[in-house]
Structure 1
Amino acid sequence: MKRARRLVSVSHSYVVTLNRRLANEMARVGAGQWEVTAVAPRFFHGDLSPIQLQREPGEASFVEPVRALFSRSAHVFVYGPALREKLARGVDLVHAWEEPYVFAGAEVALLAPKHVPLVFSTAQNLSKRYPPPFAQLERWVVRRSAGWIAFGETVKQNLLARPGYAERPARYIPMGVDVELFQPDRAAGEDFLRELGWQEQGPPVVGYLGRFVPEKGVELLRRVLERLTTPWRALFVGGGPLEASLRAWAEPHGDKVRIVTGVPHAQVPQVLNAMDVLCAPSQTTPRWKEQFGRMLAEGFACGVPVLTSDSGEIPHTAGDAARVVPETDVAAWTSALAELLESPDRRRELSARGRERAVTRFAWPVVAREHLSFFESVLG
Structure 2
Amino acid sequence: MRRTRRLVTVSHSYVVALNRRLANEMARVGAGRWEVTAVAPRFFHGDLSPITLQREPEEASQLAAVRAHFSRSAHMFVYGPELRARLAGGVDLVHAWEEPYVFAGAEVALLTPRKVPLVFSTAQNLSKRYPPPFAQLERLVVARSAGWVAFGETVKQNLLTRPGYAQRPARYIPMGVDVELFRPDRALGADFLRELGWEAEGPPVVGYLGRFVPEKGVELLRGVLERLTTPWRALFVGGGPMEASLRAWGERQGGRVRVVTGVTHARVPSALNAMDVLCAPSQTTLKWKEQFGRMLAEGFACGVPVLTSDSGEIPHTAGDAGRVLPEADTAAWTAALSEVLESPERRRELSARGRERAVTRFSWPVVAREHLDFFESVLG
TM-score, reference length from structure 2: 0.99
What is the Cα deviation at residue 89 of structure 1?
Answer: 1.7
Residue of structure 2 in register with 1:283 after alignment:
283
Partner Cα separation in structure 2 for residue 43 and residue 245 of structure 1? 36
What is the Cα deviation at residue 166 of structure 1?
Answer: 0.2
Partner Cα separation in structure 2 for residue 371 and residue 31 of structure 1? 14
Residue of structure 2 in register with 1:192 after alignment:
192
The one-letter code sitting in structure 1 at the alignment partner of 2:71 is: S
What is the Cα deviation at residue 52 of structure 1?
Answer: 0.5
Partner Cα separation in structure 1 for residue 359 and residue 101 of structure 2? 33
What is the Cα deviation at residue 116 of structure 1?
Answer: 0.2
Residue of structure 1 in register with 2:45 after alignment:
45
What is the Cα deviation at residue 200 of structure 1?
Answer: 1.2
Describe the SS at the equivalent of 1:255. Answer: coil
Residue of structure 2 in register with 1:209 after alignment:
209
Describe the SS at the equivalent of 1:121. Answer: strand
Residue of structure 2 in register with 1:367 after alignment:
367
What is the Cα deviation at residue 3 of structure 1?
Answer: 2.2
Partner Cα separation in structure 2 for residue 165 and residue 2 of structure 1? 31
2:23 aligned with 1:23: yes
Partner Cα separation in structure 1 for residue 54 and residue 144 of structure 2? 31
- Once superposed, what is the RMSD of the aligned Cα atoms? 0.6
Partner Cα separation in structure 2 for residue 228 and residue 139 of structure 1? 51
Describe the SS at the equivalent of 1:361. Answer: helix
CA displacement, residues 216-268 of structure 1 (integer Å, 9 cap, x when unaligned): 11111001111111100000000000001101111111310000000000010
Equivalent residues in 2 for 1:259-278, closer than 5 Å: 259-278=259-278
TM-score, reference length from structure 1: 0.99
Describe the SS at the equivalent of 2:149. Answer: strand
Partner Cα separation in structure 2 for residue 95 and residue 76 of structure 1? 19
Partner Cα separation in structure 2 for residue 205 and residue 16 of structure 1? 33
Equivalent residues in 2 for 1:308-323, closer than 5 Å: 308-323=308-323
Describe the SS at the equivalent of 1:359. Answer: helix
Residue of structure 2 in register with 1:181 after alignment:
181
- Sequence identity percentage: 86
The one-letter code sitting in structure 1 at the alignment partner of 2:359 is: V
Partner Cα separation in structure 2 for residue 146 and residue 220 of structure 1? 43
The gaps in structure 2 that reach 5 residues or longer are: none
Describe the SS at the equivalent of 2:40. Answer: strand
CA displacement, residues 41-66 of structure 1 (integer Å, 9 cap, x when unaligned): 00111211100000100100000000
Partner Cα separation in structure 1 for residue 7 and residue 63 of structure 2? 12
Partner Cα separation in structure 2 for residue 67 and residue 190 of structure 1? 45
Partner Cα separation in structure 1 for residue 220 and residue 74 of structure 2? 31
The gaps in structure 1 that reach 5 residues or longer are: none
Describe the SS at the equivalent of 1:95. Answer: strand
What is the Cα deviation at residue 2 of structure 1?
Answer: 3.3
The one-letter code sitting in structure 2 at the alignment partner of 1:316 is: H
The one-letter code sitting in structure 2 at the alignment partner of 1:202 is: G
Describe the SS at the equivalent of 1:253. Answer: coil
**Aligned residue pair count:** 380
The one-letter code sitting in structure 1 at the alignment partner of 2:5 is: R
Residue of structure 1 in register with 2:92 after alignment:
92
Equivalent residues in 2 for 1:324-339, closer than 5 Å: 324-339=324-339
The one-letter code sitting in structure 2 at the alignment partner of 1:35 is: E
Partner Cα separation in structure 2 for residue 178 and residue 229 of structure 1? 36
CA displacement, residues 140-191 of structure 1 (integer Å, 9 cap, x when unaligned): 1100000000000000000000000000000000000000000000010011
Partner Cα separation in structure 2 for residue 72 and residue 225 of structure 1? 40
Residue of structure 1 in register with 2:353 after alignment:
353
Describe the SS at the equivalent of 2:259. Answer: strand
Partner Cα separation in structure 1 for residue 218 and residue 19 of structure 2? 27
Equivalent residues in 2 for 1:140-155, closer than 5 Å: 140-155=140-155
Residue of structure 2 in register with 1:229 after alignment:
229
Describe the SS at the equivalent of 1:226. Answer: helix
Residue of structure 1 in register with 2:115 after alignment:
115
Residue of structure 2 in register with 1:76 after alignment:
76
Describe the SS at the equivalent of 1:126. Answer: coil
CA displacement, residues 42-99 of structure 1 (integer Å, 9 cap, x when unaligned): 0111211100000100100000000001111110000011000000021000000000
Partner Cα separation in structure 1 for residue 142 and residue 12 of structure 2? 20
Residue of structure 2 in register with 1:164 after alignment:
164
Partner Cα separation in structure 1 for residue 136 and residue 98 of structure 2? 16
The one-letter code sitting in structure 1 at the alignment partner of 2:370 is: E
Describe the SS at the equivalent of 1:6. Answer: strand
Partner Cα separation in structure 1 for residue 66 and residue 215 of structure 2? 35
Partner Cα separation in structure 2 for residue 45 and residue 373 of structure 1? 34
Residue of structure 1 in register with 2:126 after alignment:
126
The one-letter code sitting in structure 2 at the alignment partner of 1:230 is: T
